[in-house]
Chains A and B, each alone.
Chain A
Amino acid sequence: MQGEQTQNQNMASANSLLVADCGTVFTKVSLLGLVEGQYRLMARGEAPSTALPPQSDITQGIVEAIGVIEQITGRQFFRQGNLITPEEESGDGVDAFIATVSAGQPIQLVVLGAVSPTLEALAEQAVSGLYAEIHAIPSPSFIAATSASPVSVGAGQTQNGWTQERLGLEWERQLGHMREILPQAALIVGAADGLAGPTPLQEACQLLVNAAKERQEQYGAQSGNGTPQCAVLYAGASQYIEAVRRMLYGVADVTRVDSLVSQAQLGSISIAVGTLHERAIMHRLAGYDRLQAWSSAEPVATATSLSSLVRFLAQHYAMNVTAVDVGGATTTVMLAGEQGEFVPNVNAGTGVASGVGAVLQQAGTQRIARWLPFKITEDELRQFAINRVAHPHILPTSTRELQICHAFAREAMLLTIEMARKSTLEWPDADLILATGGVLAHAPKYGQVALMLLDALQPRGVTSLVLDKTMLISQLGAVATVAPITAVQVNENDAVTHRLGTCVVPYGQLQAGQVALTVGVEYSNGRQHKVDVIAGTIEVIPLRANEQALLTLFPAPTVDVGLGPGERARAAEEIDGGLVGLIIDARGRPLVLPTEEEERQARVMQWMQAIGAL
């Protein structure tokens, strides 16, 4: 205990930290250190991730990324293959090393038992902020009892519905499904007083027993994906926990969690699944032991780290914050409200590199093509996706490729938001949109980032757009748990410094071709400027990053900017400019693109030109 306390104290007073984020496609490492009494980002490096074959060692990518930092700083961080810690007088080495991980597959979680649509939705919500994929497999007796023409289970031949043969087929189908998914974890849910009684819970156990037996025959002690036996979380009727443990004795470890009946139990299930993800996925990444040995604190899932920071920002700045992280294989959207509400959504398997295939399959070619200012065939889009999936590290070298990549990024965000909205009735308007992830951070023009965010997130009213060009925010949550001052200072000095601008989005009934909104701008130097913004267009009013101005908005009678249709709005305080400027997006909400192809392409081109995306 004393050793741990000493270690924590040491980290809190660390002069230098290396922070690594091990993604599925790229590994990023940042060097944080003291500069004139403030913690700053000093250098960063990036390298392809190496968790998969042929390297099969997650630390190799970290070493390569640190190699870039060594080149930049002239400092040495490794000696004979070992991380030099603490920092030496020469400047070599580092006081602390922290890692966040999003590499590895999402944990496959089957939900078994009396899985009603309500319970399935609750289970999805419980794991929405984790790297997890849920597969609901309601027990055959539950399906039979709750189907449109319910019949008695075990009745033999009946007039309609579920016969014994049909039940048998359903068992086979479910076993086949388990074989296909190879789940690392199972969540058993359901009360015992439903239409089918406690039988669904029994059947859930039996399915796990059958699947485990088959897996044992196939792979021995390891499952097909290299993980040990399925872990079971029991969130069903409490009186049957011992019976479940008896049935699953020797087959699976059973952990009791709160019986899932409402949103109140989501927290404990979320924590339990998060722990399982760490054990079943993270800890089994090739090279994880070495990573753990280097780390000053236990490596954390990247999404968990980002959650902490987003919630902190919402509370600290007393505003609604939407954070979006578009990675190569995962897209994350998180909404944190100033009142403490929090809606995370991690869409594992969806991204702009190895995850681009999933985007194409789920969104379809038309949805992706609609964002492009040129004609494209389905074949070309598929070829693009296949090449990206096969070679996830490649960067776009032509404008065409770049725009296709950005179209995929939009759809990745949209798919994730659609998922999040299923579980959330209210989606408060964001005061601040924080963007991170390689495709956004490395976009050549800030206007491209702004347009992607506006197209995908479709904010309303007045909001600020900020880009995390250093790709640090995903790691600062983890840094904050061990070195909070470092995290706060780096966040303010370096992470959220690329302000794209303030965005005004009128909504309501916008009449095409008519003035939707007149914007009055009064700069700090007294200069005044008035702009009429036509419905269907984007206008960018010059307002640089270090400038401020007072804003007055005069919406058309049927147009709203947050105070009601036609109501004039004057900002109480000056608004900030940004790298793009003051953006007025009068395209309407929800954003509807022209159906006619040529007109749509022309409009998209026009918007790109207006916002500086070309």
Chain B
Amino acid sequence: MMAYQPGWSVVAQTLVRRERWPGGYKGGSLLRGVPVVTVGQDVYPDQPVLRMERRASTGKGANVEVVPAGMYGRVVELTPRGGVVLEGQATLIRGAIGAGNQVAGVLNIVQDDTLQQQLSAGAILVISGTLTFAMVRQALLAGVTGIVAGSIALPDFEGFLHTDILQLFGEHDIEQAQATLPALTIVCTEGLGAAPMDEVVLDVLRRHRGKVILLSGLTSTRWGVQPELILSFAPEEIQRDWQPVEQDLSLTLGARVRVSGGEHEGATGKVEYLFAYEQVFLSGVQSRAIRLRLDNGAFVVIPVTLAQRIG
């Protein structure tokens, strides 16, 4: 049975290979990276791996920031622009939407959805419910590096970013598009609206509380880029017979899915039945369909195109 969605929400263990690059623009200036590690070197999350400097043609040459690895891994490549490509074993969490450059920070689970006592500069906060404009403003002012939340309302999201997200997600140059955004990376695992974070995702994040993680809010419908979190494994955590999990994207019986549109948008459940013939829906549209048992116990029939396999 075919798959319709790009990847699971949580891939428990996989080999990731990512360029450590915090974005090439800052304060209107073009930046370049200067690696401070070499190919083949093992790195740990707090370890600086590159320095970001302004390009001479766009401003006075000066160090702008030192960039930590954000993950355990090995340096496998240095890119022409000065980025460092790291490879390591990690849990990968994909978000639905986000904004902001790649950042590293200490993961902190916010209790009771109240931020005030839990704000700390450089942290990446996890809010299991809905993010509000007030929360992001507080976090930004406190120097928080990133937020992972269940969802955010569209007006709050656009109000904070001061931009039309349809335009943002369709830009040619994703990096340049982030240059004018506030310096706080946001990732929503469930998307826009009021859906709480999936318990499976929250559970994974709880297990990595206090660790340094890598977060990227880059979202592009033009280039197929999704926001993501990389929660790397320390060498002592990696089992001897470690194998990456193969993502099966097909919709099979028992597959865990999220409904991505329609009346039950945001609901999650398991595939109970695969119809052999097309079903007709209220709109009159005919489509191949599946029956889901939602997490709340209800049964629904949806077109396969609305089913996003998340695990």
- Which A positions have Cβ atoms within 8 angstroms of B? 47-48, 52-55, 64, 67, 105, 108, 179-182, 214, 216-221, 224-225, 349, 354, 357-358, 360-361, 379, 382-383, 385-387, 389-399, 401-402, 442, 444-445
Contacts and interface: CB of A to CB of B under 8 A. Distances in A.
B247 A219 contact: no
A47 B2 contact: yes
B284 A444 contact: yes
B80 interface: yes
Contacts of B169: 357, 389-390
A218 B80 CA distance: 6
Contacts of A402: 283-285
Nearest to A224: B173
Interface of B is mostly: loop
Contacts of B221: 354, 357, 389-390, 392
Interface string B1-22: 0111111000000000000000
Contacts of A379: 154-155
Interface in B234-283: 247, 249, 260-263, 265, 281-283
The 9 A-B pairs with the shortest beta carbon distances in the complex, nearest first, are: A444-B284, A220-B80, A52-B224, A357-B166, A394-B261, A402-B283, A397-B262, A391-B260, A393-B305
Nearest to A388: B261
B293 interface: no
B51 interface: no
Contacts of B96: 390
A398 B262 CA distance: 7
8 contacts: A47-B2, A216-B80, A218-B81, A361-B166, A383-B154, A394-B306, A395-B305, A395-B306
Contacts of B175: 224
A194 B40 CA distance: 58
A382 B168 CA distance: 14
Nearest to B165: A386
A382 B249 CA distance: 29
A278 to B, nearest CB: 20
Interface residues of B, number: 54
Nearest to B168: A357
A169 to B, nearest CB: 14
B166 A382 contact: yes
Nearest to B308: A391
Given A219-B81, A357-B166, A382-B166, A396 B285 contact: yes
A397 B2 contact: no
Nearest to B167: A361
A382 B166 CA distance: 9
Nearest to B259: A394
Interface string B68-79: 000000000001
Interface in B162-216: 164-167, 169-170, 172-173, 175-176, 191-192
A50 B52 CA distance: 35
A180 B281 contact: no
Interface of B: 2-7, 24, 30, 32, 55, 79-81, 96-97, 154-155, 164-167, 169-170, 172-173, 175-176, 191-192, 221-226, 247, 249, 260-263, 265, 281-287, 302-303, 305-306, 308
A195 B191 CA distance: 54
B192 A394 contact: no
B81 A397 contact: no
Contacts of A108: 172
A475 to B, nearest CB: 21
Nearest to A64: B2
A442 to B, nearest CB: 6
Contacts of B287: 395
B80 A217 contact: yes
Nearest to A401: B283
A382 B225 contact: no
A180 B176 contact: yes
B6 A389 contact: no
A54 B282 CA distance: 32
Contacts of B155: 379
B284 A445 contact: yes
Contact of A444 (B24, B172, B191, B283): B283
A350 to B, nearest CB: 11
A237 to B, nearest CB: 31
A108 B173 CA distance: 12
A349 B171 CA distance: 11
A64 B306 CA distance: 17
Nearest to B221: A389
A444 B192 CA distance: 29
A389 B166 contact: yes
A52 B6 contact: yes
Contacts of A445: 284
Given A48-B4, A357-B169, A217 B154 contact: no
Contacts of B223: 52, 225
B10 to A, nearest CB: 14
Nearest to B284: A444
Contacts of A354: 221
Contact of B282 (A47, A382, A399): A399
A225 B154 contact: no
